[in-house]
Amino acid sequence: MSRRPGFDPEDVRRASELASLSLGPGELERFALELAPLLERFAGIEPKEPASTGRAAADGPDELVARGRESRLRFRPDRPDPDLLRRSPSEGAPAWRASHFVVPRLPAHDR
Amino acid sequence: MSDLGTGTVIGLEVHVRLATVTKLFCGCPAVFGASPNSRVCPMCLGLPGALPTLNGDAVRLAVRAALALGYRVERTSEFVRKQYFYPDLPKGYQITQYAHPLARQGSLRVPDAAGGRRVPLRRLQLEEDAGKSVHDQLESSSLLDFNRCGLPLIEIVTEPVLRSPSEARAFLVRLRQVLERYARVSDCRMEEGELRADANISLVDSGGVTRAGRVEVKNLNSFAHVERALAVEERRLAARVAEGHAPGAETRLYDAEARKTRALRGKEEVLDYRYMPEPDLPPLRIDEASLRAAADGLPPAPAEVERRLIEHHGLSPQEAARIANTPGRAAYLEATVADGGLPLARTASGLVLGQLAAERKRRGLESEADLLPPAALRRLAQLRLDGRLSARTAARALELLFRLREPSPSDVDELVASRQLTQVAEPAELERWIRQALAAHPGEVERYRAGEERLLGYFMGEVMRASSGRADPRAATLLLRALLRSAEG
Amino acid sequence: MNPLSSLAACQKLLSSRADGFAELASEALARAVALERGEQPIHAFLSLRDTAPCVGPEPSPGASWRAGGCLAGVPIAVKDNICTTDFPTTCGSRMLQGYVSPYSATAVRRLEAAGAWILGKTNLDEFGMGSSTEHSAYGPTRNPADRSRVPGGSSGGSAAAVAAGAVPAALGSSTGGSVRQPAALCGIVGLKPTYGRVSRYGLVAFASSLDHIGVLARSVRDAATVLEAIAGFDRRDATSQRRDPPRADRVSAAELAGRSIGIPGEYFGDELDDGVRAVMERTLGLLSRCGARITPVSLPSTELALACYYVIAPAEASSNLARYDGVRFGRRAPGVATLRELYGRSRGEGFGDEVKRRIVLGTHVLSAPRYEAFYVRALQLRRRVGDDIRRVLGEVDAIFAPTTPSPAFPLGSRCAAPTDMYRADLYTVAANLAGIPALSVPIGDVDGLPVGGQLMCGAWEEEKMCSIGAAIERLVGYDPPRARGVG
């Protein structure tokens, strides 16, 4: 059984909204057309052999432990690292005022 | 609509900033009140090519907090990216934990009338703070400061089991006590955003079916606000239900001035955080050694300490709570009394909560133990309990003892003897002080004898003064009465 | 002879005269400038030094640098998605036009600590997304072997700069094959190390779990020498590993007899161009005549690898590229009134077509309704790809296969159907998914278009891989192409 999720301009619109990416109307159609075959091919992949472990999710605890064995997260000592602070953040800022970055006014109590 | 018997259920989501020197994923100093954007680096600004590195001390403190709250610390946990666009979030995602948090299934005992109630905690996760936006300076713009961005937070989520706004407040007070004073993982200053709480509230009927909610209440800047906002919301929901409505889930803001909550305008876009494992950080493993290091010197929970003070040392619940306020004070009291019996514990507790606490505060000391070694206090309390020191001479003795460096019990005895602080019940001595007092106030003696009996207290004061507080009050009172009567006859 | 054709040639000039560095540096600069001239410029560089100084950087005394090939005074080019304080870092994107990083990547700092002189920054597909360097906001790079054709990508500028003889070596980056594929198409060596071998600190992220910094050079020995300089643990990258750098002086072309070389049948399917197949077969003949044991092996997950790569890479890209929002750095769309407009237009106008396509794709597969079916499934497939390849590498010393299904294709020929171009990565993505080292060496040409053969070895086996690669290089005796029409 392989359900083939389609991919249409509406999917492109939703994704571009989540990604805060303005697309032209032509782009919605075009991206849908270009990417649909790729997604369909992926959805059509059948396991050639039964999954060796039968796990439902690749990010389950076992997977996590396996990855943890391969590579271990190191700890940094809790000491300031001053050489990162050499230049003012204003240098690359598109808009800067009174030591702050500036954006169009946010709705009050938005967050 | 027949069953109007409703109850309240409240859940809390608390963020606590860990007291580290640097941020969670970069070496920027974690300081409060620095000038805007002066504590930022490529990582906290989300510059191209920057990578996170994990602050080991933040992990230690988070594990310590988890242990202090009875959590099960996971051997392997995982950082994820929680993705959304907002200007205070420089990378477009927050590094946090989701499917595999640092710890699960904790609990905190909150005091209540029935002697304490266990509040189950769902999970504890380690995550980074966002930047700060300033809205009120300019008409058309908002300003952004990223100093706060990347500070280490732990998120603690309760099961929705709190039954009243006051219980929610009690939970937070207890939580702060554990994290600030017991585990010492955070300074928990609410005014500086080091402890932040969001609450959700629902009304349920007697069968546990939700009648209203779940309403999230935001903008709670103090414990008092939490309680008031929840009370306001509880009443609002109850009124709606009584009118026959079934209010659903929403997010509301608390307006502290108006003491009202108001609905937050719904966001236009649907929230989909698109959680994904953080590929820049391998899974986090906590081994035996780091567990031990995190647990180092961790005192037992305050609820446990209070129980012992009440059951083993005979303190009242109020007294026990005050003693257990800090783990140092409780340990000091227990070291003082050892197994000296209930009366000794109560006497010592009175001294600790009274004069010692006041002096510690005056001197800005960390602990009462810095004022007087437990053995010396024990000797003093014993003298007081035996009646050899009066309240006044005990206070005087303490004052003198505070000036000594690490006095021993024999120093206490020596001081009491040399300064003649012991209580005197010997009749001849007492009679001398009484006669001295009466002789100085013939007019009052006349009035007493004319029936103004309330002057007895006045004479006792004078006797105590004459004796420098050493007169045994009971014996002195008896003798004073007798002498006043005998002079009459 | 071009003094920039190899590290040895550079060192010869540098040591022969007092002003050797000034001469080498101005030669490199002149050659780099020449690549920008003519009707069909190669256009390998996006930024260059203004002038050649008289004195090159000194190797720093603390550099973790062994004898065996010093980089002192050697001009090196760096792909423009690797941060440098001396040049802009544009990633080939309008979004980062003129952006100068406040810090340099660890790999760049290590090159400079070894005494290398960074000549300039090279062109690339925007943010590394592409296989032809046509997706650069600053115009395409052309293949020095045939200027009507692409140099491959995304490290096309680095490959062209090396192939055209402007520098003996360059840094590139590889997420799905972006070092090996352009190296193959330009007729040079491309080395992608083990994941965690070279710090990614300062490499602008495309897909973090797949991104590697790699080396392009004209010989395996030179590539290994540069790798040795940039490899090693870096506390700034939590995924970098504590392993001693592979030593270039241990790379020995002599060791081929008795080596078992696995040939995966799946890499010789219908996709494979007949000319490339013929070059491969000739090379295999040479190998077995030298005593190598040629063993057929099977990598059944080859097709899966490409499919899961095009889910995982865009997913991570959609996340990594969220920071380009016009707020703290980079380009902001002019005249925006609301936050929504600021984001939407800055990103919509700042990113090119291919980047937008992949952001849409990546966001889609991470969105709640698709997450399990696509992203989680792709992670499962990724593990299977890795298991597959590790199983084979447990039986043979190395896997050998063509680097690309076909030689360099004409500019513009695959732009109409962009996802067709994704097939150019078919043979290279597996090594990125598994995190194992891989090396492309030139093994011949088809009508003058270079062909690369690819070696893959187990994790941390770069010394062995480079030894086998050097042996193949000597056996084949392929003459690196001279850039036609360049000095």
pLDDT of residue A84: 63
| Position A48 confidence tier, pLDDT thresholds 50, 70, 90 | low
pLDDT for residue C192 is more than 60: yes
- The sign one gets for the Cα dihedral C398, C402, C403, C405 is negative
C315-371 per-position pLDDT tens digit: 999 999 999 999 999 999 999 999 999 999 999 999 999 999 999 999 999 999 999
Q: B39 and B108: one domain?
A: yes
**Helix or strand run (H / E) with residue B17:** strand B6-17
B260-311 per-position pLDDT tens digit: 988 876 544 458 999 999 999 999 999 999 999 999 989 888 888 888 899 8
Mean pLDDT in residue range A80-90: 76
Q: B401 and B484: one domain?
A: no
| Position B489 confidence tier, pLDDT thresholds 50, 70, 90 | very low
Mean pLDDT in residue range C242-267: 92
Interface contact B141-A104, CB threshold 8 A: yes
Q: Which residue has the higher pLDDT, B367 or B47?
A: B47
Interface contact B144-A84, CB threshold 8 A: no
Dist. CA B132–CA A48, nearest whole Å: 51
pLDDT of residue C373: 93
Number of domains in chain B: 3
Best A20, A69, A78 residue to mutate vs chain C (most C CBs within 10 Å)? A20
pLDDT of residue C308: 94
Mean pLDDT in residue range C223-240: 96
Q: B346 and B273: one domain?
A: no
Residue C324, chain A, CB below 8 Å: the answer is no
Q: Chain B residues with CB inside 8 Å of A70's CB?
A: 282
Interface contact C329-A41, CB threshold 8 A: no
pLDDT for residue C295 is more than 70: yes
Dist. CA C197–CA B282, nearest whole Å: 15
The beta-carbon neighbor of A78 closest among B21, B39, B145 is: B21
Of B174, B195, B192, give the one whose Cα is nearest residue B302: B174
Dist. CA C220–CA C253, nearest whole Å: 10
Dist. CA C317–CA B486, nearest whole Å: 103
Query: What DSSP character marks residue C141?
Result: -
pLDDT of residue C402: 98
A1-32 per-position pLDDT tens digit: 344 468 999 999 999 999 999 998 799 999 99
B61 occurs within a structural domain: yes
pLDDT for residue C293 is more than 70: yes
User: Contact B252/B218 with Cβ under 8 angstroms?
Assistant: yes
Best C364, C370, C414 residue to mutate vs chain A (most A CBs within 10 Å)? C364
pLDDT of residue C176: 97
pLDDT of residue C248: 92
Q: Which residue has the higher pLDDT, B75 or C420?
A: B75
pLDDT of residue A92: 87
| Position B256 confidence tier, pLDDT thresholds 50, 70, 90 | confident
pLDDT of residue A85: 61
Interface contact A16-C360, CB threshold 8 A: yes
| Position B369 confidence tier, pLDDT thresholds 50, 70, 90 | confident
- Residues, chain B, total? 489
pLDDT for residue C433 is more than 80: yes
Beta strands in B238-315 (DSSP E): 250-255, 260-263, 276-277, 284-285
Q: B80 and B154: one domain?
A: yes
Touching C: A residues 68-87, CB under 8 Å: 71, 73-74, 76, 84, 86-87
Interface contact B146-A101, CB threshold 8 A: yes
Neighbour-count burial of A88, counting CB atoms closer than 10 A to its CB (0-12 exposed, 13-18 middle, 19+ buried): middle
Residue B129, chain A, CB below 8 Å: the answer is no
Best A14, A17, A33, A38 residue to mutate vs chain C (most C CBs within 10 Å)? A38
pLDDT for residue C482 is more than 70: no
Mean of the per-residue pLDDT values for chain B?
Answer: 89
What does B107-126 look like in DSSP terms, one character per residue?
EEEE--TTS-EEEEEEEEEE
B39 occurs within a structural domain: yes
pLDDT of residue A3: 46
Q: Chain B residues with CB inside 8 Å of C82's CB?
A: 49
C155 labelled catalytic: no
Mean of the per-residue pLDDT values for chain C?
Answer: 93
pLDDT of residue C317: 98
- List all chains that touch chain C, counting a touch as 3 or more CB pairs closer than 8 Å: A, B
C33-68 per-position pLDDT tens digit: 999 999 999 999 999 999 888 877 777 765 544 444
- Please state the domain extents for chain C: 7-259+469-476
Q: B452 and B371: one domain?
A: no
Q: Return the residue of C nearest to B82 by Cα.
A: C319
Q: B396 and B283: one domain?
A: no
pLDDT of residue A51: 46
Q: B332 and B366: one domain?
A: yes
pLDDT of residue C334: 95
Q: Which residue has the higher pLDDT, C66 or B90?
A: B90
C7-259+469-476: CATH superfamily: Amidase signature (AS) domain (3.90.1300.10)
pLDDT for residue A56 is more than 60: no
Note down the domain range covering B305: 299-418
Q: Return the residue of C nearest to B145 by Cα.
A: C328
Q: Chain B residues with CB inside 8 Å of C375's CB?
A: 276
The beta-carbon neighbor of A104 closest among C307, C308, C336 is: C336
pLDDT of residue C160: 98
Domain termination site, one of B238, B265, B293: B293
**Helix or strand run (H / E) with residue B155:** strand B152-158
Mean pLDDT in residue range B9-30: 96
Q: Which residue has the higher pLDDT, C459 or C423?
A: C459
pLDDT for residue B87 is more than 50: yes
B1 occurs within a structural domain: no
The beta-carbon neighbor of C329 closest among B47, B93, B282 is: B47
pLDDT of residue A67: 67
User: Contact C241/C81 with Cβ under 8 angstroms?
Assistant: no
Q: Distance from C299 to chain A by nearest Cα, in Å? A: 12
Dist. CA C418–CA C310, nearest whole Å: 13
Cβ within 8 Å of residue C439, ≥6 positions away: C180, C189, C190, C191, C192, C220, C223, C454, C455, C456, C465, C466, C469
pLDDT of residue B140: 85
Touching A: C residues 333-392, CB under 8 Å: 336-345, 347-349, 351, 356-357, 359-361, 363-365, 367, 370, 372-374, 376-383
C121 labelled catalytic: no
**Helix or strand run (H / E) with residue C21:** helix C20-34
| Position C94 confidence tier, pLDDT thresholds 50, 70, 90 | very high
pLDDT of residue C63: 55
Give the count of beta carbons closer than 10 Å to the beta carbon of residue C77: 28
* Percent of all residues in chain C with a pLDDT value above 90, rounded to a whole number: 88
Interface contact A102-B219, CB threshold 8 A: no
B432 occurs within a structural domain: yes
pLDDT of residue B488: 52
C464 labelled catalytic: no
Q: Which of C5, C6, C47, C79 is catalytic?
A: C79
Tokens 């270039």 correspond to what residue? C248
pLDDT of residue B134: 87
B102-156 per-position pLDDT tens digit: 999 999 999 887 778 899 999 999 999 999 998 866 678 999 999 999 999 999 9
Mean pLDDT in residue range C219-235: 96
Q: Which residue has the higher pLDDT, B213 or C212?
A: C212
**Helix or strand run (H / E) with residue C464:** helix C462-476
Dist. CA C296–CA C3, nearest whole Å: 41
Dist. CA B305–CA B319, nearest whole Å: 12
pLDDT of residue A47: 62
B144 occurs within a structural domain: yes
Q: Which residue has the higher pLDDT, B32 or C451?
A: C451
Q: B242 and B388: one domain?
A: no
pLDDT of residue B385: 87
User: Contact C6/C222 with Cβ under 8 angstroms?
Assistant: yes
Q: B356 and B381: one domain?
A: yes
Residue B276, chain C, CB below 8 Å: the answer is yes
Q: Chain A residues with CB inside 8 Å of B272's CB?
A: 18
Of the spans A48-52, B348-352, C276-280, which averages the highest pLDDT?
C276-280
